[in-house]
Amino acid sequence: MSKSVKIRLFVYFLLGFIVFAASKTLAISDPVSVPNNSFGIHIANIQDLEDAAKLVNSEGGDWGYVTLVITEGNRSVSLWQEVFDKMRRLHIIPIIRVASKEENGNWKKPLLGEIDGWVSFFNSLNWVVKNRYITIGNEVNLGKEWGGEVNPEEYAIYLKEFTAKLKKESADFFVMPAGFDASLPTSKTSLDESAYLVRMIRKEKDVFELVDGWASHSYPNPNFSGSEYASGKGTIRTFEWERVFLKSIGVKKDLPVFITETGWAHKVSGNKTSSIFLNESLLSSKFERAFKYTWSDNNVVAVTPFILNYEYPPFEMFSWKNGGNFNSLYENMRKVAKTKGVPIQEDKAEISRIFVPAINLLGREFTGLFFVENKGQTIWLKDNLKISDEDGNNLEISRISLNSYEPGGSGFIVFKGKSPEKEGDFQKSIILSNETGKISKPISFKINSIATLRMRLSNFLDSLTSLWHPVR
């Protein structure tokens, strides 16, 4: 093989490596690469969003997390866009759990043919932050959560295809498998989590290499009343056991953890088994110690205890609200110091039309306007919007007339500029920015700069005169 051939092959290999590496690059952002408020809560009703925000964003906190469920029969784009918009105003990051529907005492087994509908629905929404957090399914190692049977092979195929189709539509989807019930035994109606995970990998070897994070149900068992100091499977440190076990069965990817369900059961009036549960007075101290010493793990992105408001069976024993009022746990957790989160959001403006005077005097001020739409995820602040030209000079904004500063809002911005100092036709451009930097592509316009109208008129008349009196 000649030296030149070897060089060409090396170049081809290098280019192929670069292309491959680029194809593997994820568009999702590392949630802990920026300040992150891991405090969250699980809710069952969208009417609880404001109470959730008061909890997760209290005591210095901002941009906490909320886990909520969307069922296949409740996929209204208009409804959920309103919910997402409200979460954006409240500074709440959504973690969405995909669910089918209840059917004959079970949750219906989802079908591969239904995935496209889910993907289309999710991609139709303007999400609150860049990362679109989705967990697919719930405790699927329990038969009633998968159509009445336990089938790790089917779930592995479903998870892999769902993940692939989401990623194909947008690389911003941050996909997680279902949270598993770590305390379930192997029986006719359930399967031990470790056995379930092994069978999933046997069916789809790379299934956990394709997802982006790990959803964990780290409950303090037995009886949801275990010690906050316990470790291992079936404790509030279940997520640690899960991470170690995944490595032991060959999963190479280091998956960040989202504890989407956890919490201690407490006494509820009328509950026949309430004697095994904890008094409310013990709950706050257990949660405080858990958040401080256990869930502060660097691998844990979010913790959303189950559940803010569920005052009827079968989950009233977990509810932070009883008898129409929040219990002491809610108020005490509000007092816990939290982090001011700064999640990554896409900031994007689209300028579609611009108007400026056709003729301007040399170096004189002119007034223009353009139509702009907020195509990003942030709520603009009027005083932070800026306009600059191609040379980086800031132009004065005279007036902003938008119907809303939220995503989807649009309207006109009036600005003042300065015409060139010399005569001629010029191509100019402007760009819109805010405190995050440039948020629009440049938009170009033409401007004609003249000395004075009198001079221009004089030159025009002289040219006309020359037609009638040719120069000899």
> Residue 256 corresponds to which tokens in the numbers above?
């960040």
Tell me the whole-structure pTM to 2 decimals: 0.88
Query: Are 117 and 63 found together in one domain?
Result: yes
Final residue of a structural domain among 304, 334, 364:
334
Query: Would 114 be classed as within a structural domain?
Result: yes
Q: Within this chain, do residues 142 and 104 fall inside the same structural domain, yes or no? A: yes
For the chain, 472 residues long, give each residue's pLDDT as a single digit of tens. 554 544 444 433 343 433 333 333 346 899 999 999 999 999 999 999 999 999 999 999 999 999 999 999 999 999 999 999 999 999 999 999 999 999 999 999 999 999 999 999 999 999 999 999 999 999 999 999 999 999 999 999 999 999 999 999 999 999 999 999 999 999 999 999 999 999 999 999 999 999 999 999 999 999 999 999 999 999 999 999 999 999 999 999 999 999 999 999 986 545 555 556 787 778 999 999 999 999 999 999 999 999 999 999 999 999 999 889 999 999 999 999 999 999 999 999 999 999 999 888 888 899 999 999 999 999 999 999 999 998 899 999 999 999 999 999 999 999 999 888 889 899 999 999 999 999 999 999 998 988 865 555 555 555 554 454 444 3
End of a domain among 334, 364, 379? 334
Both 357 and 308 in one domain: the answer is no
3 state SS of 14? helix
Question: Within this chain, do residues 368 and 416 fall inside the same structural domain, yes or no?
Answer: yes
329 & 367 share domain: no
| Cα–Cα distance measured from residue 324 to residue 49, given in angstroms and rounded to the nearest whole number | 16
Q: How many CA atoms are closer than 13 Å to the CA of 60, on its beta-carbon side?
A: 7
Residues 330 and 381 both lie in one domain: no
Together in a domain, 250 and 156 = yes
Same domain, 318 and 440: no
CATH of the domain at 315: 3.20.20.80
Assign residue 423 the CATH number of its domain: 2.60.40.10
Residue 341 is assigned to a structural domain of this protein: no
In a domain, 340, yes or no: no
Residues 330, 407, single domain; the answer is: no
Select from 324, 431, 446, 452 the least CA-distant residue to 385.
431
Question: Quick one: 184 and 284 in the same domain?
Answer: yes
Residue 360 CB coordination number (10 Å): 19
What the block records as the tokens of 190 is 């359930």
Element (H, E) at 386: strand 386-389
Chain centre to alpha carbon of residue 313: 32
Collapse the DSSP code of 429 into the 3-class scheme (helix H, G, I; strand E, B; otherwise coil) and give the result: strand
Contact 349, 389 (CB under 8 A): no
Q: Is residue 5 part of a domain?
A: no
**Structural domains in the chain (count):** 2
User: Is there a domain that residue 343 lies in?
Assistant: no
Q: 264 with 357, same domain?
A: no
Residues 204 and 328 occupy one common structural domain: yes
In a domain, 468, yes or no: no
Pairing of strands 173-177, 132-136: parallel
Range of the domain at 375: 349-456
